[in-house]
Structure 1
Amino acid sequence: MGVKQEVRQEVKEFLTSRRARVTPDQAGLAGGSNRRVPGLRRTEVALLAGVSVEYYSKLERGDLTGASEAVLAAIADALRLDEAERAHLFDLARACAGPAARSRRRAPAAAVRPAVRWALDNITGGPAFVRNGRLDVLAENALFRGLYWDAYQLRERPLNLARLTFLHRELAERYYPQWDVSADINVAILRTEAGRNPYDRDLQDLIGELSTRSDDFRVRWGAHNVRHHANGQKHFIHPVVGDLHMSYEAMEPMDEPGLNFLIYAAEPGSPSEASLRLLASWVATQEQGAREPGVPRSRD
């Protein structure tokens, strides 16, 4: 199956899954008892969006080519899409037009500028890193390396957070006490990126690898959930310093679309803030030992 056919299949499955999620009551319609489909019927979505049933059926078969922004917005409203889902629908519409229509969007960077690395190194109060939409960690500060110390002992470079979550699950579960939540977030981020950049061969290879090697990934991928990972709370369990409850904020560098600059921070005066100070001291010792021949690295 070519990329364009894959995009059309994604459109079909995304719209079908979102339609199945909306009940007539939620849409302000009479439900009735003789319903053979979960959620809304195509005729009901068409009615709510103000388009013909034939035209909506064409869209749901995967052909968004030529659909205007007004029509897409009406479909998004009818299906009660959230901000991330709405953006995903518009990304899929651009993808349906083929690579030429997407040429204005620059390919995600494969590396970061030295100044970004310097900025990361100057963040000393919390873990910070830069990743792309494939969840490759492209640069990080010392506290982030300390947070994921055992993961950095793996040979894979760059460190990929989705591979860590699904292909090194035992290790990932030691970091993430709510592994299921982290797994859902990882897949939703990748699904969002696949809508933005369906012609990214490295991304498609990653999705294929994870789908082949992980049943947990494959099931989640089939749910077609998307997410904007902008801010929130994160709970880690570190093997040396224990529980870390942190907030995170994500930013996109203005001249590097597709990259995310994420910073974790603990509440001032909290036990987690004290644990981050301990982690900073610990990782400094570990990395100093790694630079000095003959000095053993200890986790104690």
Structure 2
Amino acid sequence: MSAYILTLSCPDRTGIVHAVSGFLLERGGNIEEAAQYNDHGTGLFFMRVRFACTAHGRDALAKELGELAVGFGMDWKLHDAAQPVKTVILVSKEGHCLNDLLFRWKSGLLAIDVRAIVSNHRDFYQLAASYNVPFHHIPVTAATKPQAEAKQLEIIEAEGSELVVLARYMQVLSNDLCAQLAGRAINIHHSFLPSFKGAKPYYQAHDRGVKLIGATAHYVTADLDEGPIIEQDVARADHTDTVEDLTARGRDTESQVLARAVKWHSERRVLMNGHKTVIFK
């Protein structure tokens, strides 16, 4: 049996679950996992269904789903659950998140297919080679940024990438590139947003004497560090910690938060809800 994941959102009304489950039943679909959420603030309904089906292929299901969706005003997507998400990772000089993602991917813990690693430094070409992943070194300066981003986008599109992960990529993407990657680029910020945006957040946190440091995985938008948040976590801190202590402790948190965000995205568990997200864990 082929497994599929259906995600949808639409104006809330009675009968949506009945219509979707009935649609699948009529086509021999067996629901394996289902979750839904009614946002009373916006009046929107969100749903994720994983199901198995033998009688219909994806194209036929998609065509008939499109007809059902019209009556409910649905924004919907149908995914083949067996297909890993083609992914390109961007990184600079901090490699802990990159290393963690590559290990989880090769261990079968993430439903992704890492197609390329792009970096503005050469530091991790050997790490990429050890996982047999193509490594692209694209230096970035203020003068060459447009050309560099054009090369990055060329690689992303050539690999058919559905997901771009900024694994401590320390360059601010242009508004144009953010628009090109809307909804498919995840960044890890080494702070518990919305606090301490921008550069050197651990220095900012240390200066404020915080008792908690954190990390935030969010979708990339043109508004720096303000994209829809997918996942966050924290670690304890106290007055004896130096900036170096906070940075070292934060690396583990960053890696875990980013890995969870990538996992949920690749399993189609994240739905956009304006400037927020709905996560069906």
Question: Shared fold (TM-score greater than 0.5)?
Answer: no
Indicate the structure (1 or 2) with the bigger Cα radius of gyration: 1
TM-score, normalised on structure 2?
0.26
Structure number with higher helix proportion: 1
